[in-house]
């Protein structure tokens, strides 16, 4: 790697963090690439320095200092409760983890850019939403719960960080529903069901973001200089009923009182890890206004919503490799890593 950015990526074992690292591994604009997670990436990444650390732990500040990262990319805000063993643990990762990471970045003398992957879930879902939801749209008071509230809380910490460190460039990407041949998301699982439950009397508009476009947007913003909050999604829309037909699935309309028990059952059967708080999605849907991203850095998705759905249908491979259970020794490994970095500096060498 040539001289350039020293980039630290959180959630490097998961889809977006992993693909971002792969996209940057041989980029001449990158001097050093550091990945943090509780699990090692399932595939090799040239030049990646992997550090096993929980971002909820204050020790993440030691990692930032030891690696001298000048760019932090936070991709580890997740929507799947089962990944963490329940809703409480997911919230701790999403909210407390973001708080600890940004607190560490605030104290760092090296960090000059922070990029956070958020979600359009921060807008909530309501019948009176704009036909194109802009970045300025605020959800109805008290309407956010679960994953959407996690994203909103994480963004609050990010904006507070931006006020305390105006010298650090801050960018937040609010992505739409991501689909593709290899990504594993709740919307992918939902649309993969042979019989797709829907809300009786509702046919929401869908706007999909192809996995490749999601990664490209992260690469562009990570290596660029734009600041602010940006909606990121594909062009065009489909109605949910259209998407189900094009996928060759069968639609099962349910009366609203039955929707939540069915969602709970799907999760218990390990078929769809669909957050209960996102059930309003199958009632109202959401379409994002992406003009700000297009104007700011020329965001131009290669896949429209229809093309993203077609690629998902025609080339689905079954998702990401399954990760191992958490390593209980990560703290010991982290301390050993930090001591190696300290010794290397004292002796004028690198690790």
Render pLDDT for 217-236 as a digit per residue (tens, 0 to 9). Answer: 999 999 999 999 999 999 99
Does residue 43 register a pLDDT over 90? Answer: no
Note the pLDDT of residue 279. 72
d(CA 144, CA 136): 16
Note the pLDDT of residue 322. 39
Does residue 242 register a pLDDT over 90? Answer: yes
Domain boundaries, the chain: 5-319+334-346
Render pLDDT for 47-79 as a digit per residue (tens, 0 to 9). Answer: 999 999 999 999 999 999 999 999 999 999 987
Note the pLDDT of residue 347. 58
Does residue 280 register a pLDDT over 90? Answer: no
pTM of the model: 0.87
Note the pLDDT of residue 338. 59
Of 54-63, 123-132, 168-177, 328-337, which gets the smallest average pLDDT?
328-337
Does residue 19 register a pLDDT over 60? Answer: yes
Radius of gyration of the chain (CA): 20
Render pLDDT for 75-133 as a digit per residue (tens, 0 to 9). Answer: 999 877 666 667 788 888 899 999 999 999 999 999 999 999 999 999 988 888 899 99
Note the pLDDT of residue 10. 97
184 band by pLDDT with thresholds 50, 70 and 90:
confident
Answer yes or no: CATH 3.40.50.720 is held by domain 5-319+334-346. Answer: yes
């Amino acid at each position: 790697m040539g001289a350039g950015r020293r980039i630290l990526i959180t959630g490097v074992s998961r889809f977006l963090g992993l693909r971002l690292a792969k996209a940057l591994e041989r980029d001449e604009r990158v001097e050093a690439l550091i990945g943090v997670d509780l699990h090692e990436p399932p595939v090799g990444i040239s030049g990646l320095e992997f550090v096993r650390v929980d971002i909820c732990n204050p020790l993440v500040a030691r990692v930032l200092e030891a690696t001298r990262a000048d760019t932090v990319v936070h991709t580890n805000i997740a929507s799947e409760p089962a990944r963490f063993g329940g809703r409480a643990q997911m919230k701790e990762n999403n909210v407390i983890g973001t708080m600890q990471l940004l607190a560490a970045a605030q104290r760092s003398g090296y960090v000059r850019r922070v990029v956070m992957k958020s979600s359009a879930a921060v807008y909530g879902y309501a019948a009176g939403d704009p036909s194109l939801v802009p970045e300025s749209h605020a959800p109805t008071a008290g309407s956010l719960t679960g994953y959407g509230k996690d994203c909103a809380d994480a963004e609050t910490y990010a904006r507070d960080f931006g006020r305390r460190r105006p010298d650090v460039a801050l960018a937040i990407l609010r992505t739409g529903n991501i689909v593709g041949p290899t990504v594993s998301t709740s919307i992918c699982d939902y649309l993969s069901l042979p019989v797709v439950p829907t809300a009786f009397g509702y046919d929401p508009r869908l706007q999909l973001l192809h996995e490749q476009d999601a990664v490209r947007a992260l690469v562009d913003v990570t290596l660029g200089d734009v600041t602010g909050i940006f909606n990121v999604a594909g062009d065009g829309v489909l109605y949910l009923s259209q998407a189900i037909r094009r996928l060759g699935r069968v639609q099962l309309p349910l009366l609203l009182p039955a929707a939540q028990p069915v969602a709970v059952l799907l999760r218990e059967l390990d078929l769809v890890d669909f957050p209960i708080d996102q059930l309003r999605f199958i009632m109202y849907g959401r379409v994002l206004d992406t003009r700000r991203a297009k104007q700011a850095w020329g965001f131009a998705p290669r896949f429209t919503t229809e093309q993203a759905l077609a690629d998902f249908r025609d080339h689905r491979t079954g998702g990401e490799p399954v990760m191992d259970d958490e390593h209980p020794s990560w703290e010991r490994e982290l301390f050993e890593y930090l001591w190696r970095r300290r010794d290397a500096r004292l002796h004028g060498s690198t690790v």
